[in-house]
Amino acid sequence: MKTGEGKTLVATLPVYLNALTEKGVHLATHNDYLAKRDAQWMGPVYEFLGLSVGFIQAGMDNEDRKKAYQCDVTYGTANEFGFDYLRDNLVYDLNDKVQRGHHYAIVDEADSILIDEARTPLIISGPSDTPSHLYTKFASIARKLRRDEDFTLDEKSKAVILTDEGISRLEKMLGIENLYDPKNIHFLFHTLNALKALHYFKRDKDYIIQDGEVIIVDEFTGRLMHGRRYSEGLHQAIEAKEGVKVKEESLTYATITFQNYFRMYEKLAGMTGTAKTEEDEFKQIYNCEVVVIPTNKPVIRKDKNDLIYKTQKEKWNAVINEIKERFKKGQPMLVGTTSIETSELLSHMLKKEGIPHNVLNAKYHEKEAEIIAQAGQKGMITIATNMAGRGTDIKLGEGVVELGGLYVIGTERHESRRIDNQLIGRSGRQGDPGESRFFLSFEDDLLRLFGGDKLKNIMNTLKIEDGQPIEHGILSKIIRDAQKELKEFISL
């Protein structure tokens, strides 16, 4: 179902039907706020029909969790459901288990949890005894190694390859004869991790530093993943690179992926606005059919062709000019970015121009519902990372329909086409007018790595002047192909 068509309410029908078995129904949402909100919104419906409703929140004690799972209907996040299952497998006494089985689950934003995060492992771990000073030592060594001389990077597969010269240099620095001797293999492991941390993992894009800790940012939702750590020493390598306290490595006591967890349910269902593109995967992995529900009113939003510029500088100038133009007439805008870093860069540019705006990214997600609720008011400009208020409604303010509705501006194509569609889908809901357009450049990662040569040839053939964009249906097709190629590349 497209966004804004009432998934929260529609879920009550299958939830009620399956809860009649008295085996319990779980509804997995994207965050704690939505779990609590939906349980409270829909609670009166279930209670009127004679069912009990509970919800799980992070930090809840075992007694309260057990009570929530004893209810006919339990709302919670996929994370909480998965971790409760793992903790139940570690209890000494069966009476301490909180869950009572896996009968039926509905996964909200199913594409995000069941496809994007399918292989994300949920891990319960304890301390191990690898000394932390080793990570600091190799973070320093990594900075001394020279790119293209001592090592090369394969950006597509995020691999690091040491050259013969680099191996010799490392052996000298470490005072060893053979890096590949089995007794030295941990040195190789630390070197490669330190180089990956330095060159592939970017602060304010892949992670942020908060209260002296490295916290991962989910690349698909833009949310902070508290308690989640990169495995196999990579997290420690990033901590060493950033100069924060290196936490000891951990031993895994229990782990499960979202994919394996949700496949345990006797019956599984899901809902989202963007599942059609993943139809084959839902069928193969979860044996779930995808059914498209038509919108209540026709979608009249205008989705314009991408504008592509030679450089990022030209692209950002164009984005700022576009925002200034629309701001003059008071049209509300939602500007999508693919990272926290980019959202803050754009915010800085708008401040210089004296244009008021709100920023919605993982650093400020507590204000998310409030910011999104105001995003459709006259003259509002909201800069958002991919999280873009999933599950919250953007209502148009007075006089906004006459201005053309909410204008969605994309500043980069995401690796997943579906994430782009979610951003666009914030506008033009329930028959409202709306508009969307993406502003891109050849220096954007996706185009540089997967579509650059074809596009550059077109640019050169057309002799495009600086600051001039190109816009054509065939270019949009090349970008779609790049996203498809990347998706296939990742799935390998």
Number of domains in the chain: 3
Pair 345, 473 in one domain: yes
The residues near 365 (Cβ < 8 Å, ≥ 6 apart) are: 223, 224, 387
Q: Does residue 336 fall inside a structural domain?
A: yes
Q: Would you call 170 helix, strand, or coil by DSSP? A: helix
Let me know whether 264 and 317 are in one domain. Answer: no
The lowest-confidence range among 68-82, 292-306, 470-484 is: 470-484
Residue 323 lies in a domain: yes
Q: How far apart are CA 203 and CA 376, in angstroms?
A: 31
> Is 268 in the same domain as 244?
no
Look at residues 398, 378, 399, 395 and name the one whose alpha carbon lies nearest to residue 328: 378
How many residues in total does the chain contain? 492
For residue 436, give the CATH number of its domain: 3.40.50.300
| Cβ-based neighbours of 382, under 8 Å, separated by 6 or more | 332, 333, 334, 335, 357, 358, 359, 360, 371, 372, 374, 375
User: Mean pLDDT for the chain?
Assistant: 85
The rounded Cα 489 to chain-centroid distance in angstroms is 18
Q: Round to whole Å and give the CA distance between 168 and 395.
A: 62
Judge contact between 109 and 28, C-beta under 8 A.
no
Is the pLDDT assigned to residue 468 strictly greater than 60? yes
Q: What is the pLDDT of residue 463?
A: 65
Helix, strand or coil, per DSSP, at residue 153: strand
Amino acid at 18: N
Domain annotation covers residue 291: no
Name the strand (E) or helix (H) holding 63: helix 62-70
Q: Is 93 in the same domain as 223?
A: no
295 inside domain: no
Query: Are 122 and 201 within one domain?
Result: no
144 and 191 in a single domain? The answer is yes
Residue 319 resides in a domain: yes
List Cα–Cα distances, 126 to 129, 364, 461, in angstroms. Answer: 10, 30, 59
- Inside any domain, residue 32: yes
Q: Are 206 and 216 in contact (CB under 8 A)?
A: yes
The reply to whether 160 and 275 lie within a common domain is: no
| SS3 of residue 217 by DSSP | strand
What is the per-residue pLDDT across 388-400, written as a single tens digit (0 to 9) for each? Answer: 555 566 888 889 9
Domain that holds residue 34: 7-127+256-286
pLDDT, tens only, 50-103: 999 999 998 899 999 999 999 999 999 999 999 999 999 988 888 999 999 999
- CATH code for the domain of 208: 3.90.1440.10
Please give the model's pTM, rounded to 2 decimal places.
Answer: 0.67
Tell me, yes or no, whether 436 and 412 share the same domain. Answer: yes
> Do 79 and 227 fall into the same domain?
no
Q: Which residues on adjacent β-strands are paired with residue 207?
A: 203, 216
458 and 337 part of one domain: yes
In the listed set 248, 274, 294, which residue is the last one of a domain according to the structure? 248
Residue 293 located in a structural domain? no
Q: Could you read off the pLDDT of 243-296 as tens digits, one per residue?
A: 998 887 766 788 899 999 999 999 999 998 877 878 888 999 999 999 999 888
Burial of residue 449 (CB within 10 Å: 0-12, 13-18, 19+) is middle
Query: With bands split at pLDDT 50, 70 and 90, how would you rate the model's confidence at 141?
Result: very high
Q: What angle do CA 290, 291, 296 make, to 5 degrees?
A: 140
Residues 228 and 152 in one domain: yes
Report the distance separating Cα 185 and Cα 408, nearest Å. 50
Structure tokens at 87: 């903790």
Q: Are 319 and 457 within one domain?
A: yes
- Report whether 158 contacts 198 (CB < 8 A): no
Residue 153 lies in a domain: yes
